[in-house]
């Protein structure tokens, strides 16, 4: 029998419920994506935002028999780990959880944490680049940023995308050192190089894949100008590859995306990574495979939302 639950859009009737747990998350397109999936595969399930800092509130929801799973975002990706029954290898290796799903193991209801952010990075490239061999396989790659998204990008590039080495560019040297150290500790830090200056970038082989994990803003400080200079040198190199611009809020087309397109790079917008990590979540929650999920309809729903101008 369908149950009633309160959501930010009012009371909803559904058989099962899931959430995006984080703060702040009002801009998220995740509910549109997952509710589009459920509607098109005939499941009376509902997905809503849980914009909260209250871990105990969320953990109470996970015990509901009608809870099918959850997405987890900042600031909870690390804090949730001790509360889970089991972690997948990707979750352990990256050290962050963005997805919770349920399984019954030896008759016991088990909360499992995984990381689909890394899948989102990988699949965004392979779904949008027709010839990975000539574009980014067996070449250096580059990550712009120094936070959690940068760690996920390094993992995807190293584990699945055949990067020979990975350049890291960021305005904050301390953040880069922390990324490199953590990746080394977790077993995927070999071949990481902090590229500090445009002069250093001039002497390096050009990357084939770039993942940009920073907000969209014009460089102002000396450190920001220096980092942007490194990016410009890399974009100007003879080999033109593909760049995934993870930032899509408040604008989809960023300064880095514009510069990349101007230099002849294939630009993949950030909603692509969001969609493909969400497809992986839906597979875990529903038990269906990618071919059984309405990927095209999800793309259309997100594109239509972007066309309204809220995120464009």
Q: What was the pLDDT predicted at 5?
A: 55
Chain segment 190-245, per-residue pLDDT in tens:
999 999 999 999 999 999 999 999 999 899 999 999 999 999 999 999 999 999 99
Are 16 and 29 in contact by the 8 Å Cβ rule? The answer is: no
What's the rounded Cα separation, in Å, for the pair 164 and 139?
5
Quick count: other Cβ atoms within 10 Å of Cβ 268?
24
Q: Which of 77, 158, 266, 283 is catalytic?
A: 77
Q: Which domains does the chain have, with CATH numbers?
A: 3-115 (3.40.50.10860), 119-270 (3.40.50.720)
Give the pair of three-digit tokens for residue 142: 């580059």
Chain segment 267-304, per-residue pLDDT in tens:
999 999 999 999 999 999 999 999 999 999 999 999 99
The CA–CA distances, whole Å, from 2 to 63, 110, 144, 214, 251 equal 18, 24, 46, 42, 38
**pLDDT at residue 8 is higher than 50:** no
Helices 222-235 and 255-262: angle between axes, nearest 10 degrees: 30
Contact 268, 257 (CB under 8 A): no
Taking only the tens place, the pLDDT of each residue in 58-98 is 999 999 999 999 999 999 999 999 999 999 999 999 999 99
60 part of the active site: no
189 has a pLDDT exceeding 50: yes
């Amino acid at each position: 029998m369908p149950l009633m639950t309160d959501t930010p859009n009012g009371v909803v009737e559904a058989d099962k419920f899931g959430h995006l747990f984080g703060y702040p998350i009002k801009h998220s397109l995740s509910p549109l994506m997952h509710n589009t999936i459920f509607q098109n595969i005939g499941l009376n399930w509902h997905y809503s935002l849980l914009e909260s800092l209250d871990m105990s509130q969320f953990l109470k929801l996970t015990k509901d028999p009608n809870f099918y799973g959850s997405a987890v975002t900042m600031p909870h990706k690390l804090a949730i780990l001790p509360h889970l029954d089991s972690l997948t290898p990707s979750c352990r290796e990256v050290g962050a959880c963005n997805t919770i799903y349920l399984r019954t193991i030896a008759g016991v209801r088990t909360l499992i944490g995984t990381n689909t952010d890394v899948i989102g990075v990988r699949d965004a490239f392979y779904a949008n680049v027709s010839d990975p061999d000539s574009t980014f396989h067996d070449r250096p790659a580059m990550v712009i940023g120094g936070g959690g998204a940068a760690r996920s990008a390094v993992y995807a590039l190293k584990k699945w995308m055949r990067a020979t080495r990975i350049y890291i560019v960021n305005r904050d040297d301390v953040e880069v050192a922390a990324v490199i150290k953590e990746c080394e500790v977790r077993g995927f830090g070999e071949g990481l190089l902090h590229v500090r200056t445009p002069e250093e970038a001039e002497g390096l082989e050009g990357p084939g894949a770039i993942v940009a994990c920073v907000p969209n803003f014009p460089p102002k400080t000396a450190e920001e100008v220096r980092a942007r200079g490194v990016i410009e040198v890399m974009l100007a190199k003879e080999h033109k590859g593909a760049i995934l611009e993870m930032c899509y809020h408040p604008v989809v087309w960023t300064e880095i995306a514009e510069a990349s397109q101007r230099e002849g790079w294939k630009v993949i917008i950030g909603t692509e990574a969001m969609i493909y990590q969400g497809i992986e979540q839906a597979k875990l929650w529903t038990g269906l495979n990618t071919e059984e999920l309405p990927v095209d309809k999800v793309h259309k729903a997100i594109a239509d939302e972007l066309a309204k101008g809220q995120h464009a």
